[in-house]
Amino acid sequence: MVSASDMNSEWNALSPLDGRYAGKLSALAPLVSEAALIKTRLQVEAAWLLFLLGIPAIRIRLKKQGVVQLDGPSRWRTCLDALASGKPDVVAVARIKELEAVTNHDVKAVELYLQENLLAMEAAPTVIALTHFGCTSEDINNVSYALMIDRVRREVLLPLTTSLVDRLARMSRDHAATPMLARTHGQPATPTTFGKEMAVFGARLAGIIDDIEAVPVMAKFNGATGGYSAHAFALPEVDWPRVATEFIASFGVLHPNPLTTQIEPHDWIARLSAACAHLCSAGTGLSRDFWQYISDGWCILKRVETETGSSTMPHKINPIDFENAEGNFGIAQSLFEYFARKLTVSRLQRDLTDSTTMRNIGVAFGHLTLALKAIEAGIDRLQLNEIALANDLDRHWEILGEAVQSLLRVRGVEGAYARMKSATRGIQMTRNDYLQLLDDLGVMPEVSLVFEADDWQRLKQLTPATYTGASAQLAGFFVAAWQKRQSGGPP
């Protein structure tokens, strides 16, 4: 019996991301948590102070004020370098939260913490006074979120999506020529191959990866309403737009946005969110198709002895991974679509609605991460039931009506489509029915007189399993293109 006092904090978490699914998000949480935001803010504050200390006009003034050691080894400089390198620890986070409890302002708490540390490390008061110089809170915040989102994109989102496409490419390769009944509007249609269907989704997801990669991560550092007013008044001799551009570029992954209001307008986040929403949409389609293949018996889930599929029906192996993927894709898509709509809209120079919205960026990436992991887990348990695929194809010879009417058209037979429509529409045909159809056509002079020598032989040898056109070749095209891309070759 588990007592309330023994209950793990994960069991009491409000969000399943921090509770039930916390173990699956261990790589993501350190990148987008409250602690991650605080650490990144501190990194940006420290980096800005270091950057200021490198500006010639400021260095001259500091030396006039008696600061003689700016670059050499010192306790305060070592501390500042470490913080600017992104190395604040949990003690720093705890202290900043204490200061926030007093100030009721999260960014001011970071500034005060940095000043505390510099003072303890015996930095000159004139150096400490430059902490947060010229900044509005959003200067720190937008750079911090930009760095965090970029890390999520590079370290979690792109690797997971690439891994999913790798799996689809392997299935495309292994089953390029495995015939499968297609369905349009849910009805039997021209056959395809399983590999070609996987290639379709693989190519789509590869294109979405391109979209995600192509979004430049933007940031601004231009003061209260975007005009460098405080900077220019205090130090008019400095080219502040150039300084801000160089500071943002110094992070290596950020692109400066020179024209903003108090906030960076979040257009790049809207673009990235739209691409992520698109990923969710494509992922939902893939999850549903796999679910249908399992329901039809075309795919089988590997049996795990310790699992229970149903609390009352002991025979069941449910497609739970694909269902979990679909559910989490849906939640993530809703959030990303909201970000794309909301974050680009702010009253006048800014309102604070973007601040509370941005705090949920990690939630969206959390559900997207769960979805990608779930669909991969489902694929890893999947086995193709080629016997079931063949049986379903053999039950629907009527689908060859398309092939027959196409050949009749090429041979110039009038009313070819109407003839096949009358003979096949709404009728489930066997092989014998199909061969009888060909025999009936053979006695028609308008057909027999225009057919070439091998036409009848080709039609009689055709089966639903061989009527797949260039599907295997198309699957091969995708596999080759993806392999070349992964090896670093030209597209």
Catalytic-residue membership of 15: no
DSSP-assigned letter for residue 309: S
Catalytic-residue membership of 310: yes
Q: Which H/E stretch holds residue 483?
A: helix 471-486
**Is the separation of the CB atoms in 372 and 164 below 8 Å?**
yes
**Is the separation of the CB atoms in 467 and 190 below 8 Å?**
yes
- The C-alpha atoms of residue 81 and residue 265 are separated, in whole angstroms, by 30
Q: Which of 270, 278, 273, 277 is nearest to 344 (CA)?
A: 270
Strand 179-184 relative to strand 187-193, pairing: antiparallel
3-class SS of residue 187: strand
Q: Which of 260, 244, 221 is nearest to 349 (CA)?
A: 260
Q: Which of 175, 161, 245 is nearest to 204 (CA)?
A: 161
Catalytic residue among 310, 406, 422, 448: 310
Q: Please, is 361 exposed, middle or buried when counting C-beta atoms within 10 Å of its C-beta (0-12, 13-18, 19+)?
A: buried
**Is the separation of the CB atoms in 22 and 33 below 8 Å?**
no
3-class SS of residue 182: strand
Q: Which H/E stretch holds residue 180?
A: strand 179-184
CA distances from 442 to 257, 417, 430, 455, 456 (A): 73, 16, 19, 11, 8
Measured in degrees and rounded to the nearest 5, phi and psi for residue 256 equal: -70, 140
115-123 long-range Cβ contacts below 8 angstroms, 24+ apart: 117/79, 117/83, 118/76, 118/79, 118/80, 121/74, 121/75, 121/76, 121/78, 121/79, 122/74, 122/75, 122/76, 123/74, 123/76, 123/80
The amino acid present at 345, given as its one-letter code, is: V
CA distances from 49 to 52, 190, 247 (A): 5, 66, 10
Catalytic residue among 3, 26, 185, 311: 185
Measured in degrees and rounded to the nearest 5, phi and psi for residue 161 equal: -70, -40
- The C-alpha atoms of residue 452 and residue 413 are separated, in whole angstroms, by 13
Instruction: Extract the tokens encoding 64.
Output: 């006039």
Quick one: three-class SS letters along 37-80? HHHHHHHHHHHHHHHHHCCHHHHHHHHHCCCCCCCCCCHHHHHH
Catalytic positions are 185, 310
